[in-house]
Amino acid sequence: EAGVTQFPSHSVIEKGQTVTLRCDPISGHDNLYWYRRVMGKEIKFLLHFVKESKQDESGMPNNRFLAERTGGTYSTLKVQPAELEDSGVYFCASSAITRPRETQYFGPGTRLLVL
């Protein structure tokens, strides 16, 4: 069974440009999460989809970030316009069930560098 995949693996863009990250969860997983790790800091939650609905987007930093999950399958995270502080590793995770014993499976991440 394929794991969580993310595309691209790396992205280098200039400040002010737009970048779209994609996540394909494990097939059949209704829950999809986006997290971000800024250099040297903790991995921080961004948002949570259940199927195509946003269950919790309390971690989204500002309105330059837009996440979608049309059809409840893959998800995209768009940053427009990108700023220097958006640099970091963006992880996607998916799970089949929620509490109490949910296991979130993480993708390899997209390493974003904004110059």
Partner 1 sequence: GQQLNQSPQSMFIQEGEDVSMNCTSSSIFNTWLWYKQEPGEGPVLLIALYKAGELTSNGRLTAQFGITRKDSFLNISASIPSDVGIYFCAGRSVTGANNLFFGTGTRLTVIP
Question: What residues line the site for partner 1 (CB under 8 A)?
Answer: 4, 9, 31, 33, 35, 40-45, 48, 55-56, 58-59, 91, 93, 98-109
Q: Which is nearer to partner 1, 5 or 76 (CB)?
A: 5
Q: Which is nearer to partner 1, 19 or 34 (CB)?
A: 34
Count CB atoms within 10 A of the CB of residue 99. 5
Query: At its nearest, how many Å lie between partner 1 and the CB of residue 64?
Result: 20
CA proximity to 62, closest of 38, 78, 51, 40: 78
Q: Which is nearer to partner 1, 52 or 81 (CB)?
A: 52
d(Cα 83, Cα 54) in Å, to the nearest integer?
24
